[in-house]
Amino acid sequence: MRCPYCRHADSRVVDSREADDGQLIRRRRSCPECGKRFTTVEEAVLAVVKRSGVTEPFSRTKIMSGVRKACQGRPVDEDAIAVLAQRVEETIRAKGAAEVPSHEVGLAILVPLRELDQVAYLRFASVYKSFDSLDEFEREITALREATTAREAAVRHAVATRSGGRAPKINS
Ligand SMILES: [Zn+2]
CB neighbours of 86 closer than 8 A, spacing ≥ 6? Answer: 60
Q: Could you tell me the distance, in angstroms and rounded to a whole number, from the CA of residue 8 to the centre of ligand 1? A: 5
Q: Could you tell me the distance, in angstroms and rounded to a whole number, from the CA of residue 22 to the centre of ligand 1? A: 28
Are the C-beta atoms of 32 and 12 separated by less than 8 Å?
yes
Q: Could you tell me the distance, in angstroms and rounded to a whole number, from the CA of residue 41 to the centre of ligand 1? A: 18
The candidate with the shortest Cα–Cα distance to 66, out of 126, 139, 15, 133, is 126
pLDDT tens, residue by residue, 17-40: 988 777 789 999 999 999 999 999
Are the C-beta atoms of 9 and 60 separated by less than 8 Å?
no
73: left (phi over 0), alpha (psi -120 to 50) or beta: left
Q: Could you tell me the distance, in angstroms and rounded to a whole number, from the CA of residue 13 to the centre of ligand 1? A: 13
- Could you tell me how far CA 46 lies from the centroid of its own chain? 13
Return the pLDDT at 169. 56
Are the C-beta atoms of 106 and 128 separated by less than 8 Å?
yes
Residue 140 burial (CB count, 10 A): 17
Q: Could you tell me the distance, in angstroms and rounded to a whole number, from the CA of residue 27 to the centre of ligand 1? A: 16
Q: Could you tell me the distance, in angstroms and rounded to a whole number, from the CA of residue 20 to the centre of ligand 1? A: 28
Report the C-alpha gap between 22 and 158 in whole angstroms.
Answer: 40
CA–CA distance from 36 to each of 7, 15, 27, 86, 151 (Å)? Answer: 11, 14, 14, 36, 60
Q: Could you tell me the distance, in angstroms and rounded to a whole number, from the CA of residue 30 to the centre of ligand 1? A: 8
pLDDT tens, residue by residue, 82-135: 999 999 999 998 888 889 999 899 999 999 999 999 999 999 998 888 788 888
Ranking 8-17, 55-64, 159-168 by mean pLDDT, the lowest is: 159-168
